[in-house]
Amino acid sequence: MDQQVSLIIRHISGSKKGQVERFTLTGNTDIKIGRGLNNDVGYDPVKEDTISREHCRIVQDTANPEQFVAIDCQSKNGTFVNGAAITDKTNIYAGDIIKLGKDGPEFEFDLDPRPASHVKKTRVIDTPSAKETKVHAAPTQKTAETAAPPKDTIGKQTMQHMLQESEKKSRTGIIITGVALLLLIVTGVIIYPKIFPPKTNTVVIGDTAKKTTMTPAEIAKANQDKVVYIEMAWKLTSTSSGEELYQVYYPVTDDKGNIAGYRGGYTQDENGKIVPYLATKGDYLKTLGNFKGIELDLIQSGGSGSGFVVDDRGFIATNRHVASNWLTSYRFQNYAFPGVLVKQQKDGSIGPDWSTEITQGMVGEWVPGSNPRYTGVNTYLDVTFANNAQRTPAKIVRISATHDIAMIKIELPESLPKVELNDNYETIQPGDVVVVMGYPGIAPAQYVLKRSQDVFNTNPNITSVPVPTVSNGNIGRLVRGTEKNSKIDDYKSTWGDYYQLTINSTGGGNSGGPMFDDHGKVIGVYSAGAWDAGTAISFAVPVKYVMELMGRQQVID
């Protein structure tokens, strides 16, 4: 290009509509386009959120400066040239329209002045076949007044008459077409509802039908990739030293001095409550080793639960007793009772008082993490998506101090699909339809065999594949934690703030799973079940407490 040429971007639509940007060509011009700060053609990062940070480029060919190409920079919504999506370098010419995304803003690419190579080629059209031309014999010589006009010509009046007739026919055709279209619309409005009546779960207003609810099957299909399977195991440790904590078991001997069994050791805390007598291996080596035959039983547990993605960055909501099981009541082994009370002996040592037998009722609900000297540590906390065999480690982000809710997080490079939350705490009513999704432990397991392709580890891998279970029912009762109104000064539930459900097809492993309303939105978190004489009821925590955990909650004005 001997003459100075400018590259022009004329914005046709979007937040920059009407603007013109001009760039002086250098022979190797590279125009970057996107929402990022380093682009030559930048878009509003808020208004134009369908545009990628580095969306596309317009590059000048150094070998042929009059040639330009458009390059898509692996944008999420694609780049289109004259309506066609591009996947590779695409030649562009002055006057071409480039669109950022299928429904995004568009601009015209131009050059000023336009080189000859960018002038559009003449469009070739099909020509009609040549008609036979009449050959007339030369007439005899006459004067101009008496010469007859050629036979193949049309007079002026005749042409005007033909044009008037054509216009009449065009107007008549338009009127007929409009009347036919109107009749077709009226006929469709009358006949269509009779042939295709609206479904029972729709509300018909005038001529429009709007679906208001979803079936359990539709809810399950829409959320299957958002409900996850959680596996965990934990152990109790000393807050000060980090050492593992064990319950001490004392041997019971027969008349001959042989060990006939063991009794779990229990002691009284500073509040007089009976709790397990715990020690570290260091304590055993220092003091307990003097008592012959003592056994140590690690305070630990494990299991599985459910959860659901609440943020596309990998945040997952579940129950507190799934993510941090040491903060819920401990399930003792069958051999833990009857136990023996451990206290200080007359000689100052610590040992069992065989005269005092400890029962499960005396201990009650013991929460390992309730003592500030103890803390739980997850030995593993893994998340698996539905119909998937790959486990992903998770970490605890937040734990509710008052409700059975926790937040965990996994790290994946992709954006995750998330559920839609609906806090209907103030409007929910007994009888409302609900659907619970999760992974009950009693459901049949599915396994897959994967043969190793690793030369350094040829062992095959057999892994379980979680498949979610769908359970539907109703809100049976609203169990409010506390309440004050004009009739009462105070009220407190022995259970806390829960929704009681008429769902009994769930079980252990469902804990932490989402509870949906009939619009497919999460309104609660499945938390617990209760069984009595064959009757089963279950409970869910209102989703408002998940939403509180996702943000900042001010408790002091």
With a cut of 70, say whether residue 290 has pLDDT above it. Answer: no
- Number of structural domains in the chain: 3
Residues 453 and 505 in one domain: yes
CA distance 524 to 308: 11
Residues 450 and 339 in one domain: no
Residue from 180, 410, 420 nearest 315 by CA: 410
Residues 374 and 477 in one domain: no
pLDDT for residue 479: 87
298 assigned to some structural domain:
yes
61 assigned to some structural domain:
yes
Q: Beta partners for 471?
A: 436
**432-483 confidence digits (pLDDT tens):** 999 999 999 877 778 777 788 888 888 777 788 999 999 999 999 998 865 5
**Paired sense of beta strands 97-100 and 392-399, if any:** unpaired
What size, in residues, is the chain? 557
Torsion of CA 86, 90, 91, 95, to 10 degrees: 20
- Please say which residue of 410, 442, 458 terminates a domain: 410
Burial pattern 131-149, b for ≥16 Cβ within 10 A else e, equals: eeeeeeeeeeeeeeeeeee
- Please say which residue of 67, 96, 118 terminates a domain: 118
CA distance 535 to 345: 48
309 assigned to some structural domain:
yes
CA 430 from chain centre, in angstroms, equals: 29
Residues 277 and 332 in one domain: yes
With cut-offs at 50, 70 and 90, classify the pLDDT of residue 345: confident
**Paired sense of beta strands 392-399 and 374-385, if any:** antiparallel
Residue from 261, 265, 267 nearest 246 by CA: 265
400 assigned to some structural domain:
yes
Residues 477 and 356 in one domain: no
Residues 364 and 473 in one domain: no
Task: Share the mean pLDDT of the chain.
Answer: 81
CA distance 300 to 331: 10
Residues 280 and 406 in one domain: yes
CA distance 364 to 356: 17
Residues 286 and 332 in one domain: yes
Tell me how many degrees the CA angle 508-437-527 measures, rounded to the nearest 5. Answer: 45
Neighbouring CB atoms inside 10 A of 284's CB total 17
202 assigned to some structural domain:
no
pLDDT for residue 305: 95
Q: Which two tokens stand for residue 462?
A: 């057999």
Mean pLDDT value of segment 13-30: 88
49 assigned to some structural domain:
yes
Residues 398 and 483 in one domain: no
Higher-confidence residue of 459 and 274: namely 274
CA distance 19 to 12: 8
Residues 370 and 334 in one domain: yes
H or E, element range at 85: strand 84-85
pLDDT for residue 240: 92
Question: What does 390-459 look like in DSSP terms, one character per residue?
Answer: --EEEEEEEE-SSSS-EEEEE--SSPPP---B---TTT--TT-EEEEEE--TTSPP-EEEE---BTTB--
**69-79 confidence digits (pLDDT tens):** 999 999 989 99
CA 428 from chain centre, in angstroms, equals: 24
Burial of 545 (0-12, 13-18, 19+ CB in 10 A): buried
357 assigned to some structural domain:
yes
**210-268 confidence digits (pLDDT tens):** 557 999 999 999 999 999 999 999 999 999 999 999 999 999 988 888 888 999 999 99
- Please say which residue of 410, 443, 471 terminates a domain: 410
With a cut of 60, say whether residue 368 has pLDDT above it. Answer: yes
Provide the CATH number for the domain around residue 58.
2.60.200.20
**42-73 confidence digits (pLDDT tens):** 988 767 888 998 999 999 999 899 999 999 99
Q: Give, in order, the Cα–Cα distances in Å from 481 to each of 152, 523, 541.
A: 100, 17, 11
Task: For the full predicted model, state whether its pTM sits above 0.85.
Answer: no
Residues 309 and 453 in one domain: no
Provide the domain limits for residue 104.
6-118
Q: Which long-range contacts (CB under 8 A, 24 or more apart) does 459-464 make?
A: 463/389, 464/389
CA distance 415 to 226: 12
H or E, element range at 219: helix 216-223
pLDDT for residue 535: 67
508 assigned to some structural domain:
yes
Q: Please identify which residue in the block is written with the tokens 């008349």.
A: 255
Residues 263 and 402 in one domain: yes
Provide the CATH number for the domain around residue 267.
2.40.10.10
